[in-house]
Amino acid sequence: MTNINLYQSDAMSYRLPTATSMYALLNLGGEVGEVLSVVAKGIRDGYESKDIYTAELAKELGDVLWMVAAVAADNDLKLSDICQMNLDKLESRKNRAVISGSGDNR
């Protein structure tokens, strides 16, 4: 799949009626926590194999992406627009030599 908007549309076709906008927003944090947990458990226990770690990380990142797609859809935003805005912001920061600084509006 090459079109992020197609992903967003397809992903939302699996959305349950109970997966409200508040659910998506709150669970985004939960899914990010699961990504962090995969990494933390690997640090604590060691990685059984790179393939297993990569597969688990990809699975959890996919869940984060689904939640981001849902929050975006709930606010009438397209993922492609969000991606482009982010790239434009990063390019601007790079051009102004503030990419390594702090603060949202630099």
- When pLDDT is averaged across residues 37-43 and rounded to a whole number, the result is 94
Sketch out the chain's domains with CATH numbers: 4-77 (1.10.287)
Please report the pLDDT score of residue 2 as a whole number: 60
Taking residue 84's Cβ as centre, other Cβ atoms within 10 Å add up to 12
pTM: 0.89
Please report the pLDDT score of residue 1 as a whole number: 46
Residue 46 confidence class, pLDDT cut points 50, 70, 90: confident
Q: How far apart are CA 41 and CA 63, in angstroms?
A: 18
What sign results for the dihedral spanned by CA atoms 9, 14, 16, 20? Answer: negative
